[in-house]
Every structure is written in structure tokens, then in C-alpha cells.
């Protein structure tokens, strides 16, 4: 007697493509997380010697997510997503050259938006309120990068911070979650509020240096952290590895006001869009 086994894969993707997305997440997270740790440790006076390595870490934080985008572009079966991510990856690498900064901003914004919209459509996610966190995060990339290159920097960086945090707060909508996950999110928010009320200047300095947050209240910070922690908890509990790496990239990147941060957010959004095991999130 014989039996048939049906293997379900993501739309327009092969097993290699799924693996490529996870590899992209690992590469991107390694680069941007290293820079985050170095920034916080340096400004806290824990490892003064890291100051001499900041240029190398900044380069790694740029190259990592850019290579991740190119890895997905090279393996995806969707030509629209491929074009979008090729722009993100190539111009992300070119952003290392100061003369290419403005062109890189345009390419990363356009390519990232195109890739995210196409992947959302391809995996069959509904065009309803669930798209709001992705829309806010993509909007954060747009306005934050514009502020980063000198277009109304004070206003745009503040708006970008609000959009990033509110988008992060909404990420639990992208995957299944339960009471335990919300409990972890609430605990993280409570700890942040307690520390923020006890040591407001330290909290402000850490969020500015580590996450690039400008002009956001403690409440918005807490809501953003709660949402992202809830997402990470749900992803780990359900073994939704794409979403777990996506949440990690979002946390390590912070506000996408610089090219390394923006590349990590774009990659993180793409991984958060991925459904678990080819089914619904």
C-alpha cells in the first residue's frame, strides 16, 4: 500500500528560498546587533576600547542586511520582489560611498516598499487592518531616512520614531499569539516604565544612542517594546523562526534614520510578513 505526502511551501518559493530568508535574517541580525551592543557598551563606559572598532562595526551593520536582501533576491521566484530587493541590496552596499547616499535612500525606500507589498500579496495576507504595522514601519523608513539626509531632520526623525514604535507595537497582529506572550510583553513594558521613571536621563540616553529614538514619550516607548516582545515570545513559542529573526532585527535596528538601521528594518519587515510553515500566520 502506498501513500502520498504533500509538502506545502511558501507561494513562489522553494525550500532553498525559505532557507535563504532565514540565512538572510542571521546575517543581518549579526551585523546590526553587534553595532547596537558596541554603542551601548561604549557610551556606558563598559568597553572603551571598542571605540577603535566602530567604523568596522558600522560597515558590518550595513553589509550584513544588504547581503541578506541580495540573498533573498537571488533565490526568490518572484520577479517583482527580486527587483525590489536587488535595489535594496545593491544600493545598500553603495551607501558606503558618501556620494551615493541620496541615490541609496531613494532606492532602499522604493525597493523595500515594493518588496514588502509584493511579498504581502504573494503569501495571501488580507489587505485589511493587519497591514497597518507594516505600513507604519515602511513609512518610518521613508520619513526617518529623509530626516537622516537633512530634510526637516527634527520633525521627520520625531515622526519616524513614533511610526517605528507604533509599528513595533502592532507586530503581534502578524502572527498568532496568546496570553503568555502578552504577559512577557507587559512585563517588558513595566520594567521599562519603572526604569524610565527612576532614571529618566539614563533611559533617554540609552534609547537615543542604542535605538535612535527622538521625541517619543515613555508611554510610546513602552507600548513599542511590549508589542515587539510579545511578537518575539509568540515566534519563539510557535517556532516561527522568520518572525523571531524579524523581531530581533527590529529591536536591534531601532529607528531607521541611518542606512544600516533602515536596511535592517526592511529585512525585518520582510521576515515578519512570512507566514509560519507556508500557512496563515
Region 242-257: mean pLDDT is: 94
Percent above pLDDT 70 for the chain: 91
How buried is 64 (Cβ within 10 angstroms: 0-12 exposed, 13-18 middle, 19+ buried)?
Answer: buried
SS (H, E, C) 98-130: HHHHHHHHHHHHHHHHHHHHHHHHHCCCCCCHH
Q: How many other C-beta atoms are found inside a 10 Å radius of the C-beta of residue 259?
A: 26
Give me the pLDDT at residue 187, please: 96
Give me the pLDDT at residue 53, please: 81
What's the pLDDT band for 42 if we cut at 50, 70, 90?
A: confident
Where is average pLDDT lowest: 1-10, 91-100, 199-208? Answer: 1-10
Residue 227 has pLDDT above 80, yes or no: yes
pLDDT tens-digit map of 160-210: 999 999 999 999 999 888 899 999 999 999 999 999 999 888 888 888 888
CA count, 13 A, side-chain hemisphere, 49:
0
What's the pLDDT band for 277 if we cut at 50, 70, 90?
A: low
Residue 47 has pLDDT above 80, yes or no: no
Residue 148 has pLDDT above 60, yes or no: yes
pLDDT tens-digit map of 210-226: 888 998 899 999 999 99
Query: Considering the entire predicted model, what is its pTM?
Result: 0.88
Residue 141 has pLDDT above 80, yes or no: yes
Give me the pLDDT at residue 257, please: 92
Q: Give strand ranges (E) for 66-190.
A: none
Q: Give strand ranges (E) for 36-120.
A: none
Region 67-89: mean pLDDT is: 94
Region 131-160: mean pLDDT is: 93
Amino acid at each position: 500500500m502506498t501513500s502520498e505526502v504533500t509538502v506545502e511551501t511558501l507561494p513562489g518559493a522553494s525550500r532553498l528560498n525559505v532557507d535563504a530568508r532565514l540565512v538572510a535574517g542571521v546575517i543581518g541580525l549579526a551585523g546590526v546587533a553587534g553595532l547596537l551592543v558596541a554603542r551601548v557598551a561604549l557610551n556606558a563606559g563598559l568597553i572603551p576600547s571598542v571605540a577603535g572598532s566602530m567604523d568596522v562595526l558600522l560597515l558590518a551593520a550595513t553589509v550584513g542586511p544588504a547581503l541578506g536582501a541580495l540573498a533573498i533576491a537571488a533565490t526568490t521566484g518572484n520577479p517583482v520582489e527580486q527587483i525590489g530587493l536587488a535595489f535594496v541590496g545593491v544600493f545598500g552596499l553603495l551607501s558606503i560611498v558618501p556620494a551615493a547616499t541620496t541615490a541609496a535612500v531613494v532606492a532602499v525606500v522604493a525597493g523595500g516598499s515594493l518588496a514588502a507589498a509584493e511579498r504581502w500579496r504573494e503569501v495571501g495576507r488580507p489587505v485589511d487592518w493587519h497591514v497597518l504595522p507594516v505600513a507604519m514601519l515602511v513609512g518610518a523608513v521613508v520619513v526617518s531616512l529623509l530626516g537622516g539626509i537633512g530634510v526637516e531632520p527634527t520633525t521627520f526623525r520625531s515622526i519616524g520614531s513614533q511610526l517605528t514604535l507604533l509599528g513595533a507595537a502592532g507586530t503581534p497582529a502578524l502572527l498568532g499569539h496568546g496570553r503568555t506572550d502578552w504577559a512577557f510583553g507587559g512585563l517588558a513594558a513595566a520594567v521599562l516604565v519603572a526604569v524610565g521613571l527612576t532614571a529618566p536621563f539614563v533611559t533617554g540616553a540609552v534609547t537615543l544612542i542604542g535605538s535612535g529614538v527622538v521625541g517619543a514619550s515613555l508611554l510610546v516607548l513602552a507600548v513599542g517594546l511590549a508589542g515587539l516582545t510579545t511578537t518575539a515570545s509568540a515566534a519563539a513559542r510557535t517556532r516561527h523562526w522568520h518572525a523571531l529573526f524579524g523581531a530581533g532585527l527590529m529591536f536591534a535596528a531601532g529607528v531607521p534614520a541611518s542606512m544600516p538601521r533602515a536596511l535592517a528594518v526592511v529585512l525585518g519587515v520582510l521576515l515578519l510578513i512570512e507566514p509560519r510553515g507556508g500557512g496563515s500566520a
